[in-house]
Structure 1
Amino acid sequence: MMPITQTPEFELKDPSLDTIRCVEHGHPSPLIRWHAHDDFELHFIAATTGKVFVGDYVGTFTPGQLILTGPRLPHNWICSNDTPTVDIRDRAIQFPEDSILKAGELLPEFTQLTPLLERARSGIEFIRYPVELAQQRFEEISQASGLKRLLGFLSWLQELADWNDYRLLSTVQMNNTANEGMQQKINTVVDYINENCEQQITLHEVASLVGMSESSFSRFFRKATGNRFVEFLNRVRISRACIMLTESDEQITKICYQAGFNNIANFNRRFQELKGVTPREYRRQAQLRTAARVA
């Protein structure tokens, strides 16, 4: 029986030397940070809630979320401020891009996975995938080793390739090659924005935070996240507003200001740009989904 590896860095190899590597971590953890690497990763969120960042996408996560990220696509899951300590927050399966590509050259059957892996370069969230089934698949793969682990994982990938209820997350397919120091700067800025998005945050403020000029930071930030700074800030604020629209009965005008916008017209415009509906319609749809689950 092969144990799951709790690695100090996602980039480290599993001591088992299996091509398919299983890792997990709890909360808090140094692994909760903005980062990108050379592997595909299938993430299963076992516990906690908060914000998820994949490429230029900003959204929310809850237990049971299943997301596949492609190589060098930056990602992070940041827990809510009141999150307690948990032993297992995120379970991930890593597999290298080069091995999959080489296998495809030798075995034509592997090309059946090509559409799935190409979509993963934008990040894929599998919608309404059964939580119990995801847990079962992860347990089976993590407890196996060698060829048995590989075959089990390929079977799951084929199942996910056939899963029709999914959404692509990042609007741009990023190829982030920033070094660890640059990734840490982005992580510092993302954490700062997440913690202070309801306040007024200036470009000068965040550029100074990481010791860069405004112009250098603007170029660096857009390359790393796929967003201009103000676009990214708006995405975080809209994500915060979505939570309040779903979980509270606060007036929309009040939510506008609590999310960090300084006028309702701008809030409505940005919300519709990112979500495709007005805040009022978003709340109505959320209420309908809740009622359907209760029924």
Structure 2
Amino acid sequence: MDPLLLKVKKTETDSFSVNHFTYSGSFPGLWHYHSEYELTLIVKSSGTRFVGDHIDRYTENDLIFIGKNLAHTWKTDPSKEKNQSSEALVIHFKEDFLGKTFFTTPELYAVEKFLQLSQRGIKIMGKTQTAIIDHMYQIQALSGVNKLIKLLQILSLLADSEELILLSSEGYNQYINENTNDRLNKVHAYIMNNFKSSIRLTDAADIANMSPTAFSRYFKQRMQKPFSQFVNELKVGYACKLLMLHKFSIQQICFECGFQNVSNFNKQFKSYTELSPKQFQLKHRSLYLQASLYQLQANNPAE
């Protein structure tokens, strides 16, 4: 089942929303996405965090930035559902909440680049995490222009930080960094159009008008990973997306993603996710059951 599209509510007097959510027990755990960017601080809770095809543990002070239309949820540990409340401080804003061209101004180049990266989901660490948490608690008490300035301060800190961890794989949403040069963009386009079948380094090198050896060095320097690793991550990311739909067999997904046999598919998948395809699918199954129940209740409200 696909993630649910949710509408984020805000007041008529605000251009973006700041909410402190408190639940008696667990978070709703609903697998969803929305058109807004999201910055979430876990105030109280622990469990499993799902962002795109990334799965990880979370605890208090977990700080995550979610790109627009990227599926995500936080699932509270079952042992803590009845014993404590769950709390999160969340900021939502749309890309054009200050106008369609605001983030394209030269002064906000770094922020625009950060927002593009956030399409994979970002975990904020270290001193940046500490500073952002402090700003998030402060913004709750602000209004008007001071509230807006505080949000821009947060975005500036995030854009300048090197204490960021990308979460979801490039293959999950087929992210392309538009700031790369034209040569690399052409290679990206070739990879995206052919990763489900056969991709050869020699063909990519021809597109870049370079020798295979020079291209291999160039690609690794620019992308911080070898060409083969990049392609396999795309294949695995796309496989994660198909597994989460629960519509295809593992064998079907294996060949759809361009792997030659199930054995190699299982090996590559586990090397990147630390889970077998079946284990990954089971981890997400409860999310889809919850989403299915939610949709059923929404379509058939009690009279």
> Are 1:174 and 2:173 matched, yes or no?
yes
> Are 1:273 and 2:288 matched, yes or no?
no
SS of corresponding position for 2:273:
helix
Where in structure 1 are there 5+ consecutive unaligned residues? 1-8, 176-221, 232-265, 277-295
SS of corresponding position for 1:52:
strand
CA distance in 2, matches of 1:271, 1:58: 13
Does the aligned pair in 2 maintain the 1:141–1:149 contact within 8 Å? Answer: yes
Q: Return the letter of the residue paired with 1:79.
A: T
Does the aligned pair in 1 maintain the 2:67–2:121 contact within 8 Å? Answer: yes
Residue 14 of structure 1: CA displacement? 2.1
Aligned to 2:13: 17
Aligned to 2:55: 58
CA distance in 1, matches of 2:272, 2:126: 25
Q: Return the letter of the residue paired with 2:273.
A: L
Q: Return the letter of the residue paired with 2:21.
A: H
Q: Return the letter of the residue paired with 1:127.
A: M
Does the aligned pair in 2 maintain the 1:25–1:87 contact within 8 Å? Answer: no
Q: 1:155 to 1:270 in 2, by over 3 A?
A: same
> Are 1:111 and 2:93 matched, yes or no?
no
Q: Return the letter of the residue paired with 1:26.
A: T
Aligned to 2:243: 228
CA distance in 2, matches of 1:105, 1:64: 28
Aligned to 1:70: 67
Q: Return the letter of the residue paired with 1:158.
A: S
Residue among 49, 67, 89 paired with 2:87? 89
Where in structure 2 are there 5+ consecutive unaligned residues? 175-236, 247-264, 276-303
CA distance in 2, matches of 1:125, 1:105: 22
Q: 1:61 to 1:71 in 2, by over 3 A?
A: same
CA distance in 2, matches of 1:77, 1:119: 21
CA distance in 1, matches of 2:104, 2:271: 47
Q: 1:161 to 1:267 in 2, by over 3 A?
A: same
Does the aligned pair in 2 maintain the 1:72–1:174 contact within 8 Å? Answer: no
CA distance in 2, matches of 1:174, 1:268: 22
Residue 223 of structure 1: CA displacement? 8.4
Q: 1:25 to 1:223 in 2, by over 3 A?
A: farther
Residue among 109, 112, 118 paired with 1:120? 118
Residue 274 of structure 1: CA displacement? 2.4
Residue 81 of structure 1: CA displacement? 0.5
Aligned to 2:136: 138
Aligned to 2:32: 35
SS of corresponding position for 1:121:
helix
Q: Return the letter of the residue paired with 1:74.
A: A
SS of corresponding position for 1:14:
coil
Q: 1:114 to 1:106 in 2, by over 3 A?
A: closer
CA distance in 2, matches of 1:270, 1:224: 8
Q: Return the letter of the residue paired with 2:100.
A: K
Aligned to 1:80: 77
Residue 271 of structure 1: CA displacement? 4.7
Equivalent pairs counted in the alignment come to 190
Residue 62 of structure 1: CA displacement? 1.0
SS of corresponding position for 2:10:
coil
Does the aligned pair in 1 maintain the 2:39–2:90 contact within 8 Å? Answer: yes
CA distance in 2, matches of 1:115, 1:76: 24
CA distance in 1, matches of 2:151, 2:13: 15
Q: Return the letter of the residue paired with 1:56.
A: D
Q: Normalization by structure 1: what TM-score?
A: 0.55
Residue 79 of structure 1: CA displacement? 0.6
Residue among 45, 48, 69 paired with 2:45? 48
Stretch of structure 1 that moved more, 13-22 or 160-169: 13-22
Aligned to 1:179: none
State the identity %: 23
Listed one character per residue, the Cα deviations across residues 4-32 of structure 1 (whole Å, up to 9, x for unaligned) are xxxxx973422253122111322336743
CA distance in 2, matches of 1:166, 1:86: 30
Q: 1:129 to 1:35 in 2, by over 3 A?
A: farther
CA distance in 2, matches of 1:223, 1:64: 30
CA distance in 1, matches of 2:39, 2:59: 16
Output the aligned Cα RMSD: 3.6
Does the aligned pair in 1 maintain the 2:6–2:32 contact within 8 Å? Answer: no
Does the aligned pair in 2 maintain the 1:74–1:225 contact within 8 Å? Answer: no
